[in-house]
Structure 1
Amino acid sequence: MLRVALSQLTTHFRRFVAIGLAVMLSVAFLSATLMVGASTNASLGASIGEAYRNADLIATSKNGDAFSQAAVDAAASAPAVKDHYAERSTYVTFVAGGGEQQGRLRNTAPSPLEGATLSSGSMPSQPFEAVIDVKTAEHLGITVGSTLELHGGGSVKTAKVTVTGLIQATNDPFSSSAAQLVASESVLDAVQDAGAGYSGLQFVLQPDEDVPAAKEYIAHRMEAAGADAPVLETAQEKVTSTVAMLSAGQDQLTIVLLAFAGVAILVSTLVVANTFSVLVAQRTRELALLRCLGAGRSQIRGSVMLEALVVGCVSSILGVLAAMGLMTGLVAWAKTQPEQAFATLAIPPSAIIAGLVAGTLLTVVAALVPARAATSVAPLAALRPADDATVGNRRGKVRLALGLIALIGGVSLLIFGSTTVSLLVALLGGAVSFVGILLCSSLFIPTVVALAGRLAAPAGVPGKLAAVNATRNPARTSATAAALLIGVTLVSLMMTGAATSRQAFNATLAENYPVDLAAMTAVDSSADPAEAISRIKTLDGVSNAVLLPAVGTLAESTPDGGRTVYSLSSADADSILRDNNIKPGPGTVYLPEDSAGGRATITTAAGTASLDAKVLRTRHVPAFVESSSITAGALPETPGMVWVKLADSVSSEQVQAIQKEIASALGVHERTVSGAAIERVTFNSIIDVLLLVVTGLLGVAVVIALIGVANTLSLSVLERTRENSLLRALGLTKGQLRGMLAIEAVLVAGVAAVLGAGIGVVYGWLGAQAALGGVADVVPAVPWLQLLAVFGVAVVAGLLASVIPAHRAARLSPVEGLATA
């Protein structure tokens, strides 16, 4: 039987090329998904975790308090610590580029722990030396050798520093909005108040040190030295906890990536099993004949398993290599984009091992099931055609019952997981329900294809035969449709999930950062605010700008007393605010997050007014009212506020240039032009990197689907050689035969594409709800144009998949075809 197996691999290698491609691409999908997880964590480490990426452990205070010198000394003297960095940081102002600027200043770290990357010049080595990020330096005209006077903690806290070098700009979204300065300890001593303490600690541990034990021991020493609730984490744990903090305390990122891995495993199993089942089922008569000649059941199974083992191993190796190539290309392309330069490739051993094991194991298991079915009956019975599963026989009833149980149970789990925001439960429910759909597919897909076949009636005999073929052999039709149904469902799921998730991300960002840029007008400036607004609107990258006059202050008797209240019309709110849920109405004052609700008394130029107070879910806006709520006019000698909305496509460099132009137009210092525009751009860049790799996986999924449908169509045509030859003998022309096969392929592909798109849209929306429902309002977003493109690709793929087998069937003479065993 070994010879038989090797003969099959060499004689019918074209069959195994097709199945090999399906296995290879499925393994590539699985491995690439696991690489996405590692690369995403690495990319987040290069952005959010940039400052501590070189540390083995990071210590921060749970309460946000600074660490004392005693706590630092206690931690640094621990035997497990090889090197340490006690960070001191503060915000400073300095004059450069024609105005006052704001920057974040920290002390230099020992070389093993320094997170800044030098671009030119040298790091500070002498007192009163500093480096500044290259982006700020280019923007403000600062060069190596320039002198800056830093102000911190009041005008008396100053330090004049010499710029000795330029460092690469940070990718950390929490720090990217201010200039980045790194200086010697003497500079921090000059600009910080005495006893300000240390904001955090980083450690390099001794080689082969037990990390959990070191964490516990160092934390204990710091507490004994007076540190309040120190938290020690590894660099990856710190990134994960930061992401969890951004998502309402839930580590949704890890759950989403695990879900992608689960989806990849499910898709790999279904595609490989379906394709290999068709291949082995087509050889049922051949295997039965071998049994008639004396081969035992175990020998038949062993022969098929050996074929599967060879195909699975070779294809899995190629699949892992393809995944590595795909991820390398995607990350390399992302790094060429200025806003995504932090993208980092990571290939964990688990991605390679999982791909090799899963591909080989799935191929063997998928081949074993139909081989066992072929050897479970007597050889002579196996030589006869098997009855298809229908609702009229026992097989069909069992299949329908199992399918309905899986479908109902899976849908219930899916809905429960979505409503309770439990992604793993929803993933399990989606997988079970989809298996139920596949089990029932042979009972409804042929009927649907036959109904769609009425559209082919104008094509004459080929069209009618194509529609009849769909119901005459339901198993064959279902197997052909299942390959494409799996792929289209997955692609539609990911497209809908990505579109819905992106919409939810944007909505969350808009809720937290409703205003891109804001600046106060200068009372003593000669600049006319109206002219300044007109000038700002003409700036490249500015979408709109409005002026909010100061119309009152909250009464001193209220919890937020003394806060200035601004006026904003409903029309201006619609045009300037990112958050569409903020709809200012008369009779209400809108307050930033953490303000007191209830009624608020506002002191205006004409007296007082009592309004309902509504607390928003953002702290990045001042108190404001709808313009008709207070008609007393602007407060004299009180500066107004300008809000600016930027175009979605602006980069962080453009934002800085726009800030400078706004400051010039209003006659104010550039540092007073604040807002969340740079944070928005940076966060969107991170989201773009995540969605970029998902887009790459979509491409792999499409190719898997196309290979699957090509395999099943080709094998089904080979299986019908005698049937097609009989039709030719009865008068069907070569052109009509090609047309019949083409129409049949288009009908099956079209039905599978429509069903798959509908199922995928539902799965994608419920999956996004399960993943993000706890941190954002998830509103279904259906990418209609993308789904239409998928439908077109599916139909064209079905048509192209029929070309080669149809050409082969038409070229074969009727006599030769009828003589085929």
Structure 2
Amino acid sequence: MLRVALSHLSTHFSRFVAIGLAVMLSVAFLSSTLMVGASTQATLAASLGEAYSKADLIVNAGPSGSLRQEAVDAAASAPAVKDSYAERSATVMFTAAGEGQYGKIRSLAPAIMEPSVLSSGAYPTSANEAAVDVKTANRFGLHAGSLLELQGPDTGQAGGAPSSAAQSGAKPRTAVKITGLIQPSNDPFSAGSPQLVATPGTVVALGDTGAGYSRLQLTLKPGQDTAEAKDYIGRRLDAAGVEGATVQTVQEKVTASVAQMTGGQDLLTTALLAFAGVAILVATLVVANTFSVLIAQRTRELGLLRCLGAGKAQIRSSVLLEALLLGFASSVLGVLAGTGLMAALIAWARTTPDKAFATLAVPPSAIIAGLVAGTVLTVVAAMVPAKAATAVAPLVALRPAGDATVNNRRGRLRLWFGLAALAVGAPSLVLGAMANMLPLAMLAGTLSFLGVLLCASLFVPPLVAVAGRLAAPAGVPGNLAAVNAVRNPGRTSATAAALLIGVTLVTLMMTGAATARQAFNTLLAENYPVDMTVNLGGGGSSGGSSAPAPGKSNDPGAAVEKVKAISGVEAAVLLRPVGSIPGTGSPTDARTVYAISSDDAARILRDKELRPAPGSVYLPAGSKTGKTTISTQGGTLTLDSVVLRSMHIEPLVDSADGAKLPAGEIPAGNSTVWLKLGDNLDADQLQGIRKHVAAAFGVPDAHVSGAALERVTFNSIIDVMLLVVTGLLGVAVVIALIGVANTLSLSVLERTRENSLLRALGLTKGQLRGMLAIEAVLVAGVAAVMGTSLGVVYGWLGAKAALGPMGEVVPVVPWLQLLGVFAVAVVAGLLASVLPARRAARLSPVQGLATA
């Protein structure tokens, strides 16, 4: 039967083109989605993990915030360690081009582990030399050979033990020579500020001499097991008496960084796992449906082979061999197509400056899974119809096959299975979504959708009949189309099922992506509620200089009105201090409390739920719960503590409570201004706004800070991932169109004699083409409406199951996109009928009636 299978594949090649495309595109969808997960991690490693991209393990400091020498020695001397990089860092201030600016300086790593990329010049090799990032150099007119005076931090404001320089009231100063320019960092935690690299001695001179290392990076010797080395180094740290230090792989560190920025939830990985599950569902359902229809069309041909002497086993072997060859060849093309698609999407993303860190990763799992899934699914899809063709006598197989309706045993069995799947799957899906149980929701969603497909013949034909009333104005072709669409429920359901699968899954992913986008925005708003902060006094917890800046505006209110006119600034609010509370550092440390009205909070804060109410003080994450006492020189006020999820906000009270505290004890210069910025600003625009705001208030740029840059960078990471997912939606649409074209073409071929009889009774060629087109549009329209409705429900419940642990997930329906999907589905149904209708119209009635 090998010769029969090969002969059939070569002789009827055109018959297999459609199924080959369906398999190829399904595999491309599956492989691409698996590549999304790997590319996500690679992209995150190129942004969040850029600082340790060349390491194998990272040793993080414990509660003290720094690593002591004994920790470095214990980890770096482990037998499995090849190289180590003990990083020192410090915050520095400098003045260039007449502007004051805060930046971060870190020690240069060994050449093999240095994460930065040199753009021009050279790395520093001796004391009082440094390299600076290109953006900062361009902004301040720096180049190789420029001199820059760096001023170390005031260690007293960091909560640590002050150095001798800090105790004497002086801050360390060092003049450095710029030796080279490095590419700017993509890490959202540092991308918004100048980045400098210097020798360890220079960093020590600028920082707190008593401080330890900020991080230790390790590379392992070839052949070392990462998990074993991690465990061994952890035990060495414990034995050395190092408390709180942790050892992580680079992947674990990236995941922890994502969780830190998203309120403790690794949402990107969770969401992408859900998309991978959807991809598998697409491949399974579309391939099985399309291939089953194709094999069912050959039932009579297979019956004829049996009449000529072929046995049941030979027939099954021939069909399965065809499926194996076709599935493997199509899977290879699918993997190549998926890789090309991902490469194109990543390359397009990288053309945008703020997404230049997008990275393509093609894991072996994506290739292997694509080849195995496409081949196995094609073979499995061919088993059922092949078995059905050999389960009856050869002469019976030559007769027209009966349809699976509720009036025969096969139809009733399918209906009962479908109803059972719906009865179990639908409630389980709701339960999984409400309980945030993603595995249960995915399994239940698949089961319930399978139930919908099995029950399709029960409700699709009646819906098409109702829609058929819209075709009445078309006359005879319209009336015939409405009747034909419901005369054979099995055929109508099979035609609708192909498009129903595609539209449902495309709508599911669109709704899920839109809901996930909204959920990410909500989470970012909770963690970064204030876009930009202007510290007018430089004291308190905001971390600026304690001395007022020269040229500071004497009228903050007038400056606020001036700032509101800056392009990109949506709102600005002046917050005046009303008291202080104990800080998180030394007992003498205090944090300033600011008052804000509910109306101002609504205008300025990203977090829509953060509206201060009387009787409570709102504290940043990590603060103590219970009662909090706000103190002034004239008295105290005790309020209930509300601990927020954000660490990036000052303690707040409602204006009514602020009025109860005696005013005037805290210098007015300690006032703070909060700004809300536009949503579509890039990093360069934010830097420009920062400069204009600083000029309006007469303060150095260093006094203008905020989370807007971090939000923009992290949003860029999310946008890259959603861009790739959106590209995959196009693949799913094409898969659905292939399925529709397959089923409609086979439907028309099955009705050759029927259509010829209509021609013999007087139906013109134009009327025949019109009838088939209207019929296709009716079926496609009903399938599109059903698929859109199901996809919205599945998309929201899936997003709720995947993202529910982070908080409330609000359904988002992308109406414009869904209207586009509906239009594409209807047009696809119309186009899918063109070639079959043309073929049917060109066939003479006599030839058609003579068809066996």
Please report how far the alpha carbon of residue 468 of structure 1 lies from its aligned counterpart in structure 2 after TM superposition: 1.6
- Write the deviation string for residues 5-55 of structure 1: whole angstroms up to 9, x where unpaired: 233223322211111111110011011111111111110111111111111
Where do 1:632-711 residues align within 5 Å?
Answer: 635=664, 637-639=667-669, 640-711=671-742
- Write the deviation string for residues 555-610 of structure 1: whole angstroms up to 9, x where unpaired: 99xx9996444343333322221111123445554443344556666568997766
Please report how far the alpha carbon of residue 429 of structure 1 lies from its aligned counterpart in structure 2 after TM superposition: 1.2
Q: Which residue of 2 aligns with 1:581?
A: 609
SS in 1 for 2:18: helix
Work out whether 1:490 is the aligned partner of 2:505.
yes
Q: Which residue of 2 aligns with 1:620?
A: 648
Do the aligned residues in 2 keep the contact of 1:65 with 1:228 (CA within 8 Å)?
Answer: no
Percent identity over paired residues = 65
- The more displaced of 673-682 and 7-16 is 7-16
Do the aligned residues in 1 keep the contact of 2:262 with 2:524 (CA within 8 Å)?
Answer: no
Q: Which residue of 2 aligns with 1:370?
A: 385
* In 1, Cα distance between equivalents of 2:785 and 2:72: 64
Do the aligned residues in 2 keep the contact of 1:504 with 1:778 (CA within 8 Å)?
Answer: yes
* In 2, Cα distance between equivalents of 1:804 and 1:238: 56
SS in 2 for 1:620: coil
* In 1, Cα distance between equivalents of 2:526 and 2:693: 24
SS in 1 for 2:340: helix
* In 2, Cα distance between equivalents of 1:566 and 1:224: 46
Residue type at the aligned position of 1:547: L
- Write the deviation string for residues 56-91 of structure 1: whole angstroms up to 9, x where unpaired: 222223545432223322332333222111111222
Work out whether 1:788 is the aligned partner of 2:819.
yes
Where do 1:414-493 residues align within 5 Å?
Answer: 414-493=429-508
* In 1, Cα distance between equivalents of 2:221 and 2:15: 56
Work out whether 1:730 is the aligned partner of 2:786.
no
**Cα 1:810–1:784 shift into 2, 3 Å:** same
SS in 2 for 1:773: helix
Work out whether 1:109 is the aligned partner of 2:109.
yes
Please report how far the alpha carbon of residue 220 of structure 1 lies from its aligned counterpart in structure 2 after TM superposition: 2.7
**Cα 1:685–1:276 shift into 2, 3 Å:** same
Please report how far the alpha carbon of residue 510 of structure 1 lies from its aligned counterpart in structure 2 after TM superposition: 0.7
Residue type at the aligned position of 2:557: A
SS in 1 for 2:195: strand
**Cα 1:75–1:484 shift into 2, 3 Å:** same
Residue type at the aligned position of 2:9: L
Please report how far the alpha carbon of residue 343 of structure 1 lies from its aligned counterpart in structure 2 after TM superposition: 0.4
- Write the deviation string for residues 475-515 of structure 1: whole angstroms up to 9, x where unpaired: 11111111111110111001100110110110111111111
* In 2, Cα distance between equivalents of 1:315 and 1:108: 50
Do the aligned residues in 1 keep the contact of 2:405 with 2:490 (CA within 8 Å)?
Answer: no
Do the aligned residues in 1 keep the contact of 2:263 with 2:645 (CA within 8 Å)?
Answer: no
Where do 1:585-596 residues align within 5 Å?
Answer: 585=613, 588-595=616-623
- Write the deviation string for residues 159-183 of structure 1: whole angstroms up to 9, x where unpaired: 2211111111111112223221111
**Cα 1:205–1:622 shift into 2, 3 Å:** closer
**Cα 1:684–1:92 shift into 2, 3 Å:** same
Do the aligned residues in 1 keep the contact of 2:275 with 2:509 (CA within 8 Å)?
Answer: no
Q: Which residue of 2 aligns with 1:311?
A: 326
Q: Which residue of 2 aligns with 1:164?
A: 179
Please report how far the alpha carbon of residue 286 of structure 1 lies from its aligned counterpart in structure 2 after TM superposition: 1.4
Work out whether 1:805 is the aligned partner of 2:836.
yes
**Cα 1:491–1:171 shift into 2, 3 Å:** same
Do the aligned residues in 1 keep the contact of 2:261 with 2:527 (CA within 8 Å)?
Answer: no
Do the aligned residues in 2 keep the contact of 1:71 with 1:223 (CA within 8 Å)?
Answer: no
Residue type at the aligned position of 1:320: V
- Write the deviation string for residues 777-816 of structure 1: whole angstroms up to 9, x where unpaired: 2000001111111001000000011011101101111001
Q: Which residue of 2 aligns with 1:231?
A: 246
**Cα 1:378–1:44 shift into 2, 3 Å:** same
* In 1, Cα distance between equivalents of 2:113 and 2:638: 56
Do the aligned residues in 1 keep the contact of 2:91 with 2:207 (CA within 8 Å)?
Answer: no
- The more displaced of 63-72 and 157-166 is 63-72
Q: Which residue of 1 aligns with 2:16?
A: 16
Where do 1:52-201 residues align within 5 Å?
Answer: 52-63=52-63, 65-152=65-152, 153=155, 154=166, 155-201=170-216
Q: Which residue of 2 aligns with 1:407?
A: 422
* In 1, Cα distance between equivalents of 2:309 and 2:742: 31
Where do 1:492-531 residues align within 5 Å?
Answer: 492-521=507-536, 525-531=552-558
SS in 1 for 2:805: coil
Q: Which residue of 1 aligns with 2:780?
A: 749
* In 1, Cα distance between equivalents of 2:627 and 2:172: 42
Where do 1:294-305 residues align within 5 Å?
Answer: 294-305=309-320
SS in 2 for 1:514: coil
Residue type at the aligned position of 1:800: L
Unmatched tracts of structure 2, length 5 or more: 156-165, 538-547
**Cα 1:693–1:15 shift into 2, 3 Å:** same
- The more displaced of 324-333 and 578-587 is 578-587
Residue type at the aligned position of 1:487: G
Work out whether 1:548 is the aligned partner of 2:581.
no
* In 1, Cα distance between equivalents of 2:315 and 2:739: 25
* In 2, Cα distance between equivalents of 1:189 and 1:511: 36
* In 1, Cα distance between equivalents of 2:472 and 2:634: 80
* In 2, Cα distance between equivalents of 1:118 and 1:8: 60
Residue type at the aligned position of 2:843: L
* In 2, Cα distance between equivalents of 1:24 and 1:12: 18
Q: Which residue of 1 aligns with 2:562?
A: 535
- The more displaced of 441-450 and 144-153 is 144-153
**Cα 1:588–1:222 shift into 2, 3 Å:** closer
* In 2, Cα distance between equivalents of 1:480 and 1:347: 36
* In 2, Cα distance between equivalents of 1:192 and 1:599: 37
* In 2, Cα distance between equivalents of 1:410 and 1:133: 55
SS in 2 for 1:668: coil
Unmatched tracts of structure 1, length 5 or more: none
Where do 1:178-327 residues align within 5 Å?
Answer: 178-247=193-262, 249-327=264-342
Residue type at the aligned position of 2:56: D
Residue type at the aligned position of 2:376: L
SS in 2 for 1:106: strand
- Write the deviation string for residues 383-438 of structure 1: whole angstroms up to 9, x where unpaired: 22333222232222211221122122222332222122121221111111111111
- Write the deviation string for residues 114-169 of structure 1: whole angstroms up to 9, x where unpaired: 11111111111111211111122222332222222222244332222111111111
Residue type at the aligned position of 1:707: I
Do the aligned residues in 2 keep the contact of 1:721 with 1:809 (CA within 8 Å)?
Answer: yes
* In 1, Cα distance between equivalents of 2:499 and 2:832: 12
- Write the deviation string for residues 727-782 of structure 1: whole angstroms up to 9, x where unpaired: 11111111111111111101111111111111111111111111111113200000
TM-score by length of 2: 0.92
Q: Which residue of 2 aligns with 1:35?
A: 35
Q: Which residue of 1 aligns with 2:540?
A: none
Paired residues, number: 819
**Cα 1:600–1:310 shift into 2, 3 Å:** closer
- Write the deviation string for residues 326-345 of structure 1: whole angstroms up to 9, x where unpaired: 01100001111111111001
- Write the deviation string for residues 515-537 of structure 1: whole angstroms up to 9, x where unpaired: 10011235783443233223222
Q: Which residue of 1 aligns with 2:48?
A: 48
* In 1, Cα distance between equivalents of 2:187 and 2:619: 29
* In 2, Cα distance between equivalents of 1:696 and 1:666: 45
Residue type at the aligned position of 2:384: V
**Cα 1:173–1:592 shift into 2, 3 Å:** same
Do the aligned residues in 2 keep the contact of 1:256 with 1:423 (CA within 8 Å)?
Answer: no
TM-score by length of 1: 0.95
- Write the deviation string for residues 301-346 of structure 1: whole angstroms up to 9, x where unpaired: 1221222222212211111111111011000011111111110011
**Cα 1:62–1:383 shift into 2, 3 Å:** farther
SS in 2 for 1:456: helix
Do the aligned residues in 2 keep the contact of 1:726 with 1:814 (CA within 8 Å)?
Answer: yes
**Cα 1:604–1:71 shift into 2, 3 Å:** closer
